[in-house]
Amino acid sequence: MTTRRGFLLGATGALAMAGLPGGARSQSGGFPVLQARQASAQLAPSSYPKTDIWGYDGLIPGPALRVRQGGRVQRSFHNGLQQASSVHWHGIRIDNAMDGVPGLTQEAVPPGATFDYDFVAPDAGTYWYHAHNRSVEQVARGLYGALIVEEAAGPDIDREETLILDDWRLNPETAQIDPDFTSFHDLSHAGRLGNLITTNGQHDLSVGVRKNERLRLRLINAANAKIFALALSGFEGWTVALDGMPLKTPEPVSDVVLLGPGQRADLIVDVTAEDGETAYLLRAENEQVFSQAAFPVGGVAAAARRPAPDALPPNPNMQFPDLAEAERLRLNMEGGAMGRLDAAILDGNRKTFRQLADSRQFWAFNGTVGMTDTPLAEIARGRAVRLEIVNDTVFPHAMHLHGMHFREVLEDGTFGPLRDTLLTFRGERREIAFVADNPGDWLFHCHMLSHAASGMMTWLRVT
């Protein structure tokens, strides 16, 4: 049995396990195989060599998995890597045993072994799957893909495009992935940021469209740490879902759409650019704008535009938490460079910040670094929870709760939209609330993967 902290350490233990029987469930249910393996991809412009990547089925992104709402996702995960791995199905209100967190919900799958994932997808929407062992390395090397759960009756659109956004840190000479995944600077500052930005593994993705065509864009931020600030040009758009969950009312995209690591947004967009022009998904960065993806307009889909879109149908069992009855919890996020963390508990021992740094651990929740044997809280099933989150650091953090969606409790006491990942900025005090209706042990961590690898990880138990 790996310890709760064991999965942060990863590879050495995993290699030692290779070849031993019984490390993962060996009998296969005859499901389609999803294999993690090495491959290469032309990420950088064609004047550069191909980049060695790790991909599901050798692809960047991995194959898009599609299932009807309420259907089962069944995949036999085969680990073709030299390092233990697992698959997490981000945002799915999943059976805990299928959540893919080594040391918490399963053992990491050793090289050469398989693990059968088999679960119901109760909610329609845009989800994704990614490696959850040594994520700071495995996701950065390319182990991610889209998981699309289709509505029984989808919206009135002409077609849809899934756009997975990522940034890669490549050697500018060789175009190979920088293998220093745990540099002190990345761990203690904003995380591992890249120097090549891609959409669906392409630096210059171009998707042909027609004037007045209506598309659904499923946006997924698969980056380790990058926050994307997105805008539209040549489209009129509405946000219809966040983190998979439909908004009650579509919201016109008038300004930027912010996507933290792990977050998703579904947009319905109408092509308003003229035939022969190009519409864009734009990325704002350092007061400049760049093309994230180009949509050259060729032809006319319809003489006139449709009326504004309707809301997507709501997902089931999403009652509002009763705040008056809720159990109150608090999460103080501390540490990092230029922070105020003098000391914290690591593996049961009090350590100074300098000692923590020697262990490559820079962040703490409520004075404790990383995973512990006991959960942040044990909550009776069905109980409402309100959780205050204080970002007492100088960096943004994207806090992801596994297994359940939450709503932000806004200043005026009303609820924000359902989400599974909350983007917080320096000094902010935020509050989320949810009904703890999914039994099991659920990870709660920063999705800036360098931060998760250096202390920003805890868990909740729903009994």
Q: Which residues of this protein are in contact with Cu ion, per CB under 5 A?
A: 397, 446, 448, 451
Nearer to Cu ion, 250 or 455 (CB): 455
Show the tokens assigned to 369. 């670094």
User: What residues are paired with 38 via a beta bridge?
Assistant: 54
CB of 364 to Cu ion, least distance (A): 12
Task: Write out the E strands in 253-358.
Answer: 257-259, 264-271, 278-285, 288-300, 327-335, 343-346, 349-352
CB of 132 to Cu ion, least distance (A): 16
Q: Are 448 and 191 in contact (CB under 8 A)?
A: yes
CB of 224 to Cu ion, least distance (A): 11
Strands in 51-56's sheet, in edge-to-edge order, are 51-56, 33-41, 72-79, 114-120
CB of 343 to Cu ion, least distance (A): 20
Nearer to Cu ion, 56 or 362 (CB): 362
d(CA 264, CA 267): 10
Nearer to Cu ion, 136 or 326 (CB): 136
CB of 446 to Cu ion, least distance (A): 3
Nearer to Cu ion, 183 or 291 (CB): 183
Nearer to Cu ion, 297 or 446 (CB): 446
CB of 242 to Cu ion, least distance (A): 19
Cα dist from 214 to 146, 302, 404, whole Å = 21, 10, 31
- Compute the chain's Rg from CA coordinates: 22
Cis amide prior to 250 (ω within 30 degrees): no
Nearer to Cu ion, 41 or 333 (CB): 333
CB of 168 to Cu ion, least distance (A): 20
Pairing label, strands 406-409, 429-435? antiparallel
Nearer to Cu ion, 259 or 326 (CB): 259
User: What residues are paired with 363 via a beta bridge?
Assistant: 335
User: What residues are paired with 64 via a beta bridge?
Assistant: none
CB of 450 to Cu ion, least distance (A): 8
> Residues near 436 by Cβ (< 8 Å), separated by ≥ 6?
379, 380, 381, 382, 383, 384, 385, 404, 460, 462
d(CA 63, CA 76): 14
Q: Are 103 and 5 in contact (CB under 8 A)?
A: yes
CB of 428 to Cu ion, least distance (A): 13
Nearer to Cu ion, 124 or 341 (CB): 341
Q: Are 269 and 215 in contact (CB under 8 A)?
A: yes
How many helices, marked H, and strands, marked E, lie in the chain?
Answer: 6, 32
DSSP state of 185: H
CB of 436 to Cu ion, least distance (A): 23
d(CA 2, CA 130): 21
Nearer to Cu ion, 436 or 446 (CB): 446
Nearer to Cu ion, 190 or 231 (CB): 190
| φ/ψ (deg, to 5) at 449 | -70, -25
Q: Are 149 and 73 in contact (CB under 8 A)?
A: no
